[in-house]
Amino acid sequence: MIASIIRRRIAEFCALLRANGFSIGMSEVIDCVSALEYIDVLDREEFRQTLMCTLAKKAEQIPLFLYLFESFFSNPNKENPQIPLLNQGAASGGAGYTPSTLLQRSQISAQNWFKAYSPNHLESERRITLEGVKHRYVLRRNIRTLERAYPKLGGRRRRSSVKGEVDLRSTLRSSLRGSGDLRSLRWSERKPAKNRLLVLVDVSGSMDSATQSLLELVYVASNVTHTSSVFCFSTTIRRVDNLIRGKTPQEAARIIGSQLSIWGSGTRIGDSLSSLLSEFSHLLDPSTLVVIISDGWDLGDVVGLRESISEIRARVGGILWFNPLADTEGYQPLTAGISTVLPYLDALAGLSCLFEPRGVMRLLAKIRASGGV
Amino acid sequence: MCYVFVWVLAVVGAVFEVDERAVSREMLKSALNSVGYIADDALITTLYLSLRLGKPLLLEGEPGCGKTELAKSLSHAFNRELIRLQCYEGLDSSSAIYEWDYLRQLLKIRMLEASGSIPDSEIFSERFILKRPLLRAVTHGDSKPPVLLIDEVDRADEEFEGFLLEFLAEFQVTIPELGSFKAKKPPIVVITSNQTRELGDGLRRRCLYYYVSFPTPERELEILSVKVRGLDEALARQIVGFVRVLREEFDLVKKPGVAETIDWARALLSLDAKTLDPQLVRQTLSCLIKDSSDTLKVDGDALKRAVENATAKTS
Ligand SMILES: Nc1ncnc2c1ncn2[C@@H]1O[C@H](COP(=O)(O)OP(=O)(O)OP(=O)(O)O)[C@@H](O)[C@H]1O
Ligand SMILES: [Mg+2]
């Protein structure tokens, strides 16, 4: 596992690259992070080349990449290095630099480099990794809670309890085990049925900043139960749970990265939902709870989106929508995508809800208080 | 001593099955060295990652600096079949994937007719397929995936690039009459481009990227010592110095690549030259300069100064 401090730095660096006109989608980020597993991240040259070959894929971007790399990774003292947004033309063409001359010029002393990952950082790595495990635990708990979001639907299985109905069979058994007299009654109640979860994760470019959380979510949701189905979508939709079930997180990340060509492109929620309806309609029934994770930035047409979501709503038990944007203070569901689907949702919540202890439980309580579910 | 070591490595590599996904960077480097390919550490790192992650390697860069050669050397070093798809304008699926062998089909039909039976589905069996590079790359024997070189992909049109994208995602070829062929182990893919056309983002996204620039003087010296045996070291330095001056100080349409440096060094070696002088350079300049307008730029005083520059720097 690469240290989460480095991973966070990579995410920040990708944001910087993006702000400077690099087209970096999820597949680039995943490649980069998985590649770092194979190299010595304390070797600056190796580290830089790994980032470069996974993130900068055009010749004319290389000078700018090197400039940004040097500025970003040589500034260990600043929390958020403020690097001016460069005019790309000026940086790449202007100074007459060719990739090769810049490559040769950009040697920075190894000492500086080690500072970028100071011992403090490496110390804190262990703690952060542990947090990561706890984080996964929380996520798992939350997903389990989601599975039981609809307790009103009693299942066919029963469990013993102190209330409910008299369980004749169990009463008879226990009396036979004794002397044969009917001495005490046994009770049982219907076990609440689990919902089948259908998780739809938006992996389009606009969701990039949440890559790590999404990966984690896709992984946990696929592995926590065997009845859930997990899909990733951007302009198209792809089922992923069967690809990564039973794999280690690293393997899963690699598989998702290599098998999905859809990371990082635009979004067509409507199209994705309608292909869900046509190809996976057998998964949609009243015991299904649909969980959508998306920021609702939609490039498709709104009419199609409305049709699909209303049809899905009619078939399933409920739809919950988790939106990373909704975590910010003062969020209003105003984008065309979100305002279209809003009437069909049981709830719209922030993504962080899934990652906080008891987050889902609180959400469900809120929904019930307002008369939902 | 060093050569013996490299040679032993090469033999070991050839005899034992080398799993390209498990090699270390050092092994990769010495394996390439052993077949005469001198690579930068950055290239080694990129190649290593592309093998590890199972992603194609996309090489762009200056012409004649070893893009094609890398794929060849890789197949050599790992003792793998090299399957080369040379791209050109109008490249279509029948030359890239497969084609029915109409002639043999026709003969077979004749034979069947003569024997009184009706030609049937037998005609459309694997025996009558002419396998082109992409089909060959997915129907290899399973243990040793070949090296698939897709050379100068920029020359093929966008439509083909789109197809290639699909191919690289699945490593699968579908023949309507026969079904799908999927590689048990995906081939090692190297894609080169000379930047005559901008490649799509999709293809770039699939690959790890490396820009092949001119080698540093030290690296180029190393290449010369491997490729041109018997060349005097001092002369080699002058050669590399002069080529560097040409690349950096003359505004050439076509800058000499490594291939040109090697050609020139071989020419000078055959002329038994000991040191560079303007006269000698002028005589042999056609090895280095391939564009007629460039020839005019490197002449007279400019040439004399360049030679002085190169010989002074290195002596
Ligand atoms: N790093 C290297 N090590 C050894 N030989 C090299 C190296 N780079 C280039 N060469 C030599 O240069 C010659 C030309 O290289 P190659 O054909 O691979 O160039 P290329 O980059 O594919 O050029 P083009 O763009 O014209 O196709 C090769 O035959 C090889 O002998
Ligand atoms: Mg070539």
* ipTM of the prediction: 0.86
Query: Rounded to an integer, what distance in angstroms lies between the CA atom of residue A198 and that of residue A292?
Result: 8
Query: Which residue segment(s) compose the domain that B288 sits in?
Result: 217-314
Model pLDDT, residue A113: 33
Name the phi and psi angles at B84, rounded to 5. -115, 125
What is the SS3 assignment for B163-227?
Answer: HHHHHHHHCEEEECCCEEEECCCCCEEEEEECCCCCCCHHHHHHCEEEEECCCCHHHHHHHHHHH
DSSP secondary structure, A199-252, as one string: EEEE-SGGGGGGHHHHHHHHHHHHHH-SS-EEEEESSSEEE-HHHHTT--HHHH
Q: How far is B175 from chain A (nearest CA, A)?
A: 22
| Sites in chain A below the pLDDT cut of 50 | 75-131, 152-153
Cross-strand pairs, A319:
A290
Query: Rounded to an integer, what distance in angstroms lies between the CA atom of residue B189 and that of residue B75?
Result: 11
Indicate if B245 and B195 belong to the same structural domain: no
Model pLDDT, residue A192: 63
Closest-CA residue of A relative to B214 is A100
Inter-residue contact B152 to B71 (CB < 8 Å): no
Indicate if B198 and B221 belong to the same structural domain: no
Q: Which residues of A touch B169 (CB under 8 A)?
A: 261
DSSP B139: S
Average pLDDT, chain B: 88
More confident residue, B259 or A204: B259
Indicate if B85 and B221 belong to the same structural domain: no
Strands B179-182 and B172-175, sheet pairing: antiparallel
Q: How far is A86 from chain B (nearest CA, A)?
A: 22
Q: Which residues of A touch B204 (CB under 8 A)?
A: 57-58
CB contact under 8 A, A53 and B204: no
More confident residue, B219 or A234: B219
Vertex B180 angle, CA B175 and B185, to 5°: 130
Minimal Cβ distance to A31: which of B55, B61, B211: B55
Residue A325: which of A295, A353, A348 has the closest Cα? A295
CB contact under 8 A, A53 and B208: yes
Model pLDDT, residue A110: 30
The rounded Å distance from CA A316 to ligand 1 centre is: 61
Closest-CA residue of B relative to A22 is B201
For ligand 1, is residue B294 a contact (CB within 6 Å)? no
Predicted confidence (pLDDT) at residue B5 exceeds the cutoff of 60:
no
Closest-CA residue of B relative to A35 is B49
Cross-strand pairs, B257:
none
Confirm whether B38 is domain-assigned. yes
For ligand 1, is residue B223 a contact (CB within 6 Å)? yes
DSSP strands (E only) in chain A: 154-161, 165-166, 187-192, 196-202, 229-233, 237-239, 288-293, 318-323, 347-350
Query: Rounded to an integer, what distance in angstroms lies between the CA atom of residue A42 and that of residue A39?
Result: 9
Confirm whether B45 is domain-assigned. yes
Model pLDDT, residue B119: 63
Predicted confidence (pLDDT) at residue B38 exceeds the cutoff of 50:
yes
Return the sign of the alpha-carbon dihedral for residues A333, A335, A340, A345.
negative
Closest-CA residue of A relative to B24 is A38
Task: Tell me how crowded residue B304 is: count the other CB atoms within 10 A of its CB.
Answer: 15
- Alpha carbon B266 to its chain centroid, in Å, reads 21
Torsion angle of the four alpha carbons A204, A210, A216, A219, in this order, in degrees rounded to the nearest 10: -10
For ligand 1, is residue B65 a contact (CB within 6 Å)? yes
Query: Rounded to an integer, what distance in angstroms lies between the CA atom of residue A43 and that of residue A47?
Result: 6
Model pLDDT, residue A126: 26
Domain boundary among B162, B197, B212: B212
Q: Where in the sequence of chain A do the CATH 3.40.50.410 domains occur?
A: 136-148+194-369
Chain B interface with A: residues with Cβ < 8 Å: 41-42, 45-46, 48-50, 52-55, 58, 60-61, 165, 169, 195, 201-202, 204-211, 213-214, 216
Model pLDDT, residue A9: 85
Indicate if B60 and B128 belong to the same structural domain: yes
Residue A312: which of A288, A331, A336, A329 has the closest Cα? A288
Q: What is the CATH number of the domain that holds B140?
A: 3.40.50.300
Model pLDDT, residue B176: 84
Indicate if B229 and B253 belong to the same structural domain: yes
Q: Which residues of B touch A57 (CB under 8 A)?
A: 58, 204-205, 207, 209
- Alpha carbon B289 to its chain centroid, in Å, reads 22
For ligand 1, is residue B67 a contact (CB within 6 Å)? yes
Indicate if B128 and B22 belong to the same structural domain: yes
CB contact under 8 A, A59 and B60: yes
Indicate if B37 and B128 belong to the same structural domain: yes
User: Out of A170-179, B181-190, B298-307, which region has the weakest mean confidence (pLDDT)?
Assistant: A170-179
Question: In chain B, how many domains are there?
Answer: 2
Among residues of chain B, what percentage have pLDDT more than 90?
55
Model pLDDT, residue A291: 93
Domain boundary among B154, B181, B212: B212
pLDDT, tens digit (0-9, with 9 covering 90-100), for A77-125 = 444 433 333 333 333 333 333 444 444 433 333 333 333 333 333 332 2
Query: Is the minimum CB–CB distance between A19 and chain B shorter than 8 Å?
Result: no
Return the sign of the alpha-carbon dihedral for residues B161, B162, B163, B166.
positive
Confirm whether B89 is domain-assigned. yes
Q: Which amino acid is at B77?
A: A
Vertex B106 angle, CA B105 and B110, to 5°: 115
DSSP B146: P
Query: Rounded to an integer, what distance in angstroms lies between the CA atom of residue B195 and that of residue B62?
Result: 9
Looking at the CA of residue B63, tell me the nearest atom of ligand 1.
Answer: 25
| pLDDT tier at B187, thresholds 50, 70, 90 | very high
Q: Which amino acid is at B78?
A: F
Query: Rounded to an integer, what distance in angstroms lies between the CA atom of residue A49 and that of residue A68?
Result: 13
Q: Which residues of B touch A53 (CB under 8 A)?
A: 45-46, 49-50, 208-210
Q: Which residues of B touch A39 (CB under 8 A)?
A: 45, 49
**Interface A-B: count of C-beta contacts within 8 A:** 72
Model pLDDT, residue B120: 67
3-state class percentages of chain A: helix first, strand second, coil last, to nearest 5: 55, 15, 30
Which residues numbered 49-68 in A keep a CB inside 8 Å of some CB on B?
49-50, 52-54, 56-59, 62
Model pLDDT, residue B87: 95
Closest-CA residue of A relative to B60 is A59
Query: Rounded to an integer, what distance in angstroms lies between the CA atom of residue B285 and that of residue B296?
Result: 11
Indicate if B287 and B171 belong to the same structural domain: no
Query: Rounded to an integer, what distance in angstroms lies between the CA atom of residue A133 and that of residue A141?
Result: 12
Model pLDDT, residue A109: 30
Inter-residue contact A104 to B216 (CB < 8 Å): yes
Among B23, B45, B189, most A C-beta atoms within 10 A, so best to mutate, is: B45
Model pLDDT, residue B55: 94
Those residues whose beta carbon sits under 5 angstroms from the ion ligand 2 are B 68
CATH architecture observed for domain A136-148+194-369? 3-Layer(aba) Sandwich (3.40)
Indicate if B116 and B173 belong to the same structural domain: yes
Classify each residue of A159-178 as buried b or exposed e, where b means 16 or more C-beta atoms within 10 Å of its C-beta.
eeeeeeeebeeebeeebeee
Indicate if B230 and B179 belong to the same structural domain: no
Inter-residue contact A318 to A373 (CB < 8 Å): yes
Model pLDDT, residue B188: 95
Q: What is the largest CA-CA distance in chain A?
A: 99
Indicate if B221 and B86 belong to the same structural domain: no
Model pLDDT, residue B313: 64
Q: Which residues of A touch B206 (CB under 8 A)?
A: 261
Substitution site in B258, B266, B287, B290 for ligand 1 pocket (most atoms within 8 Å of beta carbon):
B258
pLDDT, tens digit (0-9, with 9 covering 90-100), for B102-128 = 888 888 888 888 887 766 667 788 888
Domain boundary among B212, B228, B251: B212
Average pLDDT over residues B86-92: 92
Inter-residue contact B263 to B243 (CB < 8 Å): no
